[in-house]
Amino acid sequence: MTAVEPDTVQELETIARRLRRHAIRMIAGANSGHPGGSLSAAEIVTALYFGGILRHDPARPDWPDRDRFILSKGHGVPILYAALAERGYFPVDELMTLRQVDSRLQGHPVQGMTPGIEASTGSLGQGLSIGIGHAIAGRLDGKLFRTWVVLGDGECQEGQVWEAAMAAANYELDTLTAIVDWNRYQLDGAVEDIQSLVPFPDKWAAFGWNVLEIDGHDMAAVLQALTTASQHRGQPTCIIATTVKGKGVSFMEHNNEFHGKAPTGEQLEVALTQLAE
Amino acid sequence: MPSTKFQLTMGRATREAYGDALLALGRENRDIVAIDADLAKSTFSWTFGKHFPERFFNIGIQEANMAGIATGLASSGKIPFISSFAAFVLCKGFDQLRMGAAYPQLNVKVAGSHGGISIGEDGVSQQSVEDVALACALPHFIVCVPSDEHAMRAAVFAAARHDGPVYLRLGRPKAPVIHEPDLSFVFGKAIRIRDGDRLTIVANGLLVGQALLAADALAERDIEARVLDMHTVKPLDHDALESAARETGALVVAEEHLHYGGLGSAVALSLAQHTPAPVEVVNLGDQYAESGKPDDLMRKYRLTSAAIVDAAERVIART
C-alpha cells in the first residue's frame, strides 16, 4: 500500500470544494435537484476521478479498457457532472444547463446522453447489478478494467442490491467495488427510523464481501480504501463511507430538508462563501 | 385459393427451438452470453449453457438482478440473452428493462418462456398473459411472438443481428409446424400463409395454427380467409394490415393474451389510423385463467379455431 502524500490530499480537498461549489450552483440555477446527497459524496467522487484511482480517458469515453464508474444513487449526479466537466468530458460552462430542456445534463444520469455517464440510474437499487455485468464482460474478454459503483445507504433497502451482493460474491468479482455513501438520511427522514439497515457491515460480510469502513470525508482514508479495494483478490470489496448529508454547507449538514430542495439565491451566496478555496 | 387443407402436424415447442438456435448462435458469435433465473431446463437456455459454461450464468431466482446484469454486459459489448418464464422476467424485471434496456437502447435480448395459458396445470401465477402489453410499452423494444420452431429459430438469429432490445415470447407446449425451415423472416413483416378475399385472420403464436384450421372450416362454407402470421407485434406491419383491410374488408385478430395491450389492440389502432375496417378479436379477455390441461384451457377460454370461426361470422356480418 502506498501512503498518500499530504500535498495530494490538500490538492484533492481543494478540488472537492470546487466540485461542491459547482453542484450547489447548478442546483440553485435549476432551482431543483438534490444538494444533500451530492455534497456527501464529494470526497468519494473526487478521489476516484482526481486521485489517480479511476483509469479513464476523457477524450475517449468509450475506451474499452476504461474503468467503469456507476452512480447508482443517481440523484447525486450534480457532483458527478461537476467532476466529469472538470476532467474535460464536456465544457464546464455546460454545467449550468442542468435539468433544462435540451440539456445533456438530465436530472438523473442517462447513459449515451452525457459523455462519461455509464448507466441510466435514478430508479434506486440497479447500479450494482449493472456493475456485475461490466465485471463479467471484462473477465470474459480478459480485460483488467475495474468497476466502481456508488450506492446510497437508503438505496440499500432495495432487494435488488442484495441479489447483486449475493451474485457478485459468488462470482468472486474482485474487480468490482461498491462504495456506500452512508449519510444516514433518505427522502422521508433518517434511514435508522424508516427501515434500519443495521448491522450494515455485517450484512455485506455475511454475503461474502471484503468490507472496509471509513470516514467518507477523510480524503486520505478514502484514497487508501479505494487503493486497498483495487488490490484485494478473490472477493468484491464494499467500502462503507460514513458521511454527512449536506457536508460543507453549515445549514445543509444533517438537515434533511435539503435532500431534494434547491437553495435560495441568498442561501447560495452563504454556501459559496463557506466552500471558498 | 388453397386446394389442400392445413394438416396440423405437431413440431417442437418454440422454447426448445430457442435453445437450439441459441446454441447455434453461440457457436458463431463469441459475444453471445446467456443468463437464466433457475428455469434453464424449462426455457431450454441450458442447451446453450451446457456447451458454453463460461458464457452461461444461472443467476438463481433473481430476475431483477439478471436484467441489470444484462445492461452491464450489453454496455461492455456483449449480446446478452436473458430468459425465464415470461411472467417473471417481464413483471419482476420490468423496471430494470425500462431503465437498462429500453431507455439506453441497449442490445439486450429477453426470452420469456411459457407465454400464454397453454402452459397449463401450473396455473395463473406461471401463465404470462400480459407480457406482450408490457414489452410493447417499452420504447425501442422489438416484440415478437413466433408461431413455430422454424420461425423461432429465425427470430433468435434476427434478434442477434438487430442492434437493440428485443423481446421474444416462447411457448411451453409442442407447436404445430406452420413454416418451412428456410422461411423468409424479417421483424415487422407479416407472413401471409394463406390467401382469401372475404376476411383476414391475423394471429401469432399458437393461434396461427388455429387460424389455419378456422380458415379451412370457413372455406367449406365458401368463405375464403387470408391468414397472416403477425409474429412481430412491434413494429407492426401496417402495410400488410392496410392491404388486408382494402382487399378483404374485415379482420379477426387471434392471440393468447389479455384483451388490452396485445396484438388486438395494436391491430385495431393501426387500422383506425390508416384504413378503418371492422375487427373482431379472439383473446383471453380481461381476466385470468386457471389450472388445467392446456387443451382444456384453450377450449374453456375459447382460444380455438371454433372461436375464430365464430368471430369471422360476426365480423363478416358487420361488413
Q: Is the pLDDT of residue B109 over 50?
A: yes
Chain A residues whose CB is inside 8 A of the B103 CB are 110-111, 120
Residue A32 and residue A106 in contact, taking contact as beta carbons nearer than 8 Å: no
Any CB–CB contact under 8 A between B68 and chain A? Answer: yes
User: How many whole angstroms separate alpha carbon B260 and alpha carbon B266?
Assistant: 9
Average model confidence (pLDDT) for chain A? 97
Chain B residues whose CB is inside 8 A of the A133 CB are 68-76, 78, 80
Q: Is the pLDDT of residue A4 over 80?
A: no
Cβ contacts from A onto B, under 8 A: 111
Is residue A3 very low, low, confident or very high in pLDDT (cuts 50, 70, 90)? Answer: low
Distances from the Cα of B249 to the Cα of A162, B47, B208, B241, B283, angstroms: 55, 45, 20, 10, 21
In residues, how long is chain A? 277
Instruction: Find all residues with CB under 8 Å of B51, minimum gap 6, and list them.
Output: B23, B26, B27
Q: Is the pLDDT of residue B4 over 90?
A: no
Q: Which of B33, B65, B105 sits opposite A164 (nearest CB)?
A: B65
Is residue A5 very low, low, confident or very high in pLDDT (cuts 50, 70, 90)? Answer: confident
Residue A160 and residue A104 in contact, taking contact as beta carbons nearer than 8 Å: no
- For residue B64, the chain A residue with the least C-alpha distance is A160
The verdict on pTM exceeding 0.90 is yes
Is residue A7 very low, low, confident or very high in pLDDT (cuts 50, 70, 90)? Answer: confident
Average model confidence (pLDDT) for chain B? 97
Any CB–CB contact under 8 A between A61 and chain B? Answer: no
Any CB–CB contact under 8 A between A175 and chain B? Answer: no
| A91-115 confidence digits (pLDDT tens) | 999 999 999 999 999 999 999 999 9
Peptide bond into A199 cis (omega under 30): yes
Is residue B203 very low, low, confident or very high in pLDDT (cuts 50, 70, 90)? Answer: very high
3-state secondary structure A238-257: EEEEECCCCCCCCCCCCCHH
Q: What is the average pLDDT across B272-292?
A: 98
Is residue B2 very low, low, confident or very high in pLDDT (cuts 50, 70, 90)? Answer: low
Any CB–CB contact under 8 A between A46 and chain B? Answer: no
User: How many whole angstroms separate alpha carbon B127 and alpha carbon B115?
Assistant: 6
Selected residue of A110, A126, A145, A149 to mutate for chain B interface (largest B Cβ count, 10 A): A126
User: How many whole angstroms separate alpha carbon B10 and alpha carbon B4?
Assistant: 18
Which of these, B279, B144, B158, lies nearest to B204 by C-alpha position? B144
Q: Is B8 exposed, middle or buried, given 0-12, 13-18 or 19+ CB atoms closer than 10 A?
A: middle
Q: What is the average pLDDT across B245-251?
A: 98
Sheet of B56-58, strand order: B56-58, B32-36, B79-85, B109-113, B166-169, B142-144, B232-234
| B128-172 confidence digits (pLDDT tens) | 999 999 999 999 999 999 999 999 999 999 999 999 999 999 999
Nearest-CA distance B98 → chain A (Å): 10
Peptide bond into B235 cis (omega under 30): yes
Q: Is the pLDDT of residue A54 over 90?
A: yes
Chain B residues whose CB is inside 8 A of the A178 CB are none
Q: Which of A121, A122, A133 sits opposite B69 (nearest CB)?
A: A133
Q: What is the average pLDDT across A203-232?
A: 98
Residue A166 and residue A129 in contact, taking contact as beta carbons nearer than 8 Å: no
Structure-block grid coordinates of residue A34:
438534490
Q: Nearest 5°: phi and psi at B316?
A: -65, -35
Under DSSP, the state recorded for B16 is H
User: How many whole angstroms separate alpha carbon B47 and alpha carbon B63?
Assistant: 20
Instruction: Find all residues with CB under 8 Å of A145, minimum gap 6, and list them.
Output: A55, A65, A66, A67, A68, A134, A138, A175
Lowest-confidence segment of A5-14, A218-227, B140-149, B268-277 by average pLDDT: A5-14
Count CA atoms closer than 13 A to A4's CA, side-chain side: 22
In residues, how long is chain B? 319
Any CB–CB contact under 8 A between A119 and chain B? Answer: yes
Q: Is the pLDDT of residue A210 over 90?
A: yes
| B213-230 confidence digits (pLDDT tens) | 999 999 999 999 999 999
Q: Is the pLDDT of residue B180 over 70?
A: yes
Chain A residues whose CB is inside 8 A of the B104 CB are 110-112, 119-120
Distances from the Cα of B316 to the Cα of A66, A182, B212, B223, B279, angstroms: 63, 67, 17, 10, 9
Q: Is the pLDDT of residue B118 over 90?
A: yes
Chain A residues whose CB is inside 8 A of the B59 CB are 167
Chain A residues whose CB is inside 8 A of the B72 CB are 68, 119, 129-137, 147
User: How many whole angstroms separate alpha carbon B76 and alpha carbon A159?
Assistant: 25
Any CB–CB contact under 8 A between B177 and chain A? Answer: no
Under DSSP, the state recorded for B102 is I
Q: What is the average pLDDT across B249-261?
A: 98
- For residue A64, the chain B residue with the least C-alpha distance is B76
Coil/strand/helix, residue B218: helix
Beta pairing, strands B225-229 & B191-194: antiparallel
ipTM: 0.96
The pLDDT assigned to B3 comes to 52
- For residue A74, the chain B residue with the least C-alpha distance is B99
Beta pairing, strands B109-113 & B79-85: parallel
The pLDDT assigned to A1 comes to 42
Is residue A47 very low, low, confident or very high in pLDDT (cuts 50, 70, 90)? Answer: very high
The pLDDT assigned to A245 comes to 97
User: How many whole angstroms separate alpha carbon A236 and alpha carbon A131?
Assistant: 11
Q: Is B221 exposed, middle or buried, given 0-12, 13-18 or 19+ CB atoms closer than 10 A?
A: exposed
The pLDDT assigned to A176 comes to 98
H or E element at residue A229: helix A219-231
First-residue to last-residue Cα distance in chain B = 21
Beta pairing, strands A189-190 & A185-186: antiparallel
Any CB–CB contact under 8 A between B170 and chain A? Answer: no
Residue A272 amino acid letter: L
- For residue B95, the chain A residue with the least C-alpha distance is A123
